[in-house]
Structure 1
Amino acid sequence: MAKLSILLCIAIAFMLSFTLREVVAHTGTATFYTPPYVPSACNGYQKDGVMIAAASDAIWDDGAACGRKYKVKCTGATNQSPHPCRGKKFVVVKVVDYCPSGCEGTIDLSQEAFASIADPDAGKIKISFHQNMTSPLRIWVEIWQWVSLASLTFEVNPMYVDDK
């Protein structure tokens, strides 16, 4: 019974860890760039699809941003354009390129990624974004952390009852 309670606590904590991560987001702006998307600073001539982005100095991190995935949500207009945001709540993009100094946005989305969350005629939008960390490796790391924490916190010692 005690093991079942511990596993239940671990499962709840694990689910909460993903829920709480969604609350913490950065704000910035997004612009878009048009094809061709190769060559890119991260992968040269490798094609990475169209749900991609170029990182500005704010998130580039000397190239460490390459391959990171970000969940990006349109939050409003940066100018007088009325309601640029579209019905889709967010888009997940992979950083494959660098948007050099003077970049107009925090994240420069591919034209397709931008169009999925906002009207391209807006040109530039306000966004909230956070790193999307749901890779299988990250999930296993989180499970291991919660199991380790639970084993330290909920140490179970067997109890024996003497009927005498």
Structure 2
Amino acid sequence: MIAAASDVLWNNGAVCGRKYRVTCIGAAYPGVQPCKAGTSVVVKVVDYCPKGCRGTIDLSKEAFSAIADPNAGGFVMCCRAIME
């Protein structure tokens, strides 16, 4: 699965190709519980998320829907780099 990185991680493209384990840990909006319990995904950063990106990592639709309700619009995540 793939993702784009915002300025927080991008570092002039240094993170391109790196993998991250992403877990949904809570709601971004009141009254919504988007997380699929006990799930996480491993994504590979393949692109830059331009200015206005609403998070640290912008997940592909496939990655997002694997760990959260795609209709939720967003969620709070925990992401950890995977060292290979």
Q: Name the TM-score, length of structure 2 as normaliser.
A: 0.94
> Pairwise mapping of residues 8-157 of structure 1 onto structure 2 (< 5 A)?
51-133=1-83, 135=84
Q: Taking structure 1 as reference, are residues 121 and 81 closer, same or farther at Cα in structure 2, changes over 3 Å only? A: farther
CA distance in 2, matches of 1:113, 1:103: 17
Runs of 4+ aligned structure 1 residues displaced above 4 Å come to: none
CA distance in 2, matches of 1:67, 1:75: 24
Identity %: 58
CA distance in 1, matches of 2:23, 2:31: 17
Which deviations, in whole Å up to 9, do the C-alpha atoms of 1:14-70 show, x marking residues without a partner?
Answer: xxxxxxxxxxxxxxxxxxxxxxxxxxxxxxxxxxxxx00000000001000100000
Q: How many residues align?
A: 84
CA distance in 2, matches of 1:54, 1:104: 11
Which amino acid is the alignment partner of residue 91 of structure 1? V
Considering fraction of residues, name the structure with more strand: 2
Which amino acid is the alignment partner of residue 75 of structure 2? I
Gaps of 5+ in 1: 1-50, 136-164
Which amino acid is the alignment partner of residue 70 of structure 1? Y
Q: Name the TM-score, length of structure 1 as normaliser.
A: 0.49
CA distance in 1, matches of 2:64, 2:77: 11
Using the TM superposition, give the Cα deviation of residue 101 of structure 1 relative to its aligned residue in structure 2, in angstroms.
Answer: 1.0
Retained in 2: the 8 A contact 1:81–1:122? no
Using the TM superposition, give the Cα deviation of residue 124 of structure 1 relative to its aligned residue in structure 2, in angstroms.
Answer: 1.1
CA distance in 2, matches of 1:105, 1:92: 17
Q: Secondary structure at the match of 2:29?
A: coil
Bigger RCO of structures 1 and 2 (CA < 8 A, at least 6 apart)? 2
Question: What is the RMSD of the two structures over their aligned residues, measured on CA atoms?
Answer: 1.0
